């Protein structure tokens, strides 16, 4: 699992905390993904599909995260957390941690 660390410095990317966004359709997101189902190493997971077409506010930018399995830090670009969009764990054996989902800006439309 991942533990997100919110950005501590002012970001130069276009989405900011409080911005209203709409999650693109599954087909639009699929067009951005590589063979392994990810964009820039960030996977689009099954739990994210139910949020397609819905509107949210950006909660935070994510510039770094700690990979729990290894304890290593990874840097991210163009990635945000959306208010209320959390993992329900159904595709992970019923996990009940309610983790934040990480969204690439390419998967979102600013409204």
Written as tens digits, the pLDDT of the chain (111 aa) is: 444 444 444 444 589 999 999 999 999 999 999 999 999 999 999 999 999 999 999 999 999 999 889 999 999 999 999 999 999 888 778 888 888 999 999 999 999
Q: Are 34 and 42 within 8 A, CB to CB?
A: no
CB 13 within 8 A of CB 63: no
pTM value is 0.83
Task: Provide the pLDDT for residue 9.
Answer: 42
SS3 content of the chain, % helix, strand, coil (to 5): 15, 35, 50
């Amino acid at each position: 699992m991942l533990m997100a660390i919110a950005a501590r410095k002012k970001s130069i990317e276009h989405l900011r905390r409080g911005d209203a966004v709409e999650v693109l359709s599954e087909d639009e997101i699929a067009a951005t993904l590589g063979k392994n189902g990810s964009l820039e190493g960030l996977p689009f997971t099954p739990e994210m599909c139910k949020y397609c077409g819905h509107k949210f506010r950006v909660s935070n930018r994510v510039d770094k995260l700690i990979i729990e399995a290894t304890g290593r830090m990874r840097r991210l670009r163009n990635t945000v957390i959306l208010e209320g969009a959390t993992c329900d764990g159904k595709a992970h054996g019923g996990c009940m941690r309610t983790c934040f989902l990480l969204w690439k800006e390419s998967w979102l439309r600013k409204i």
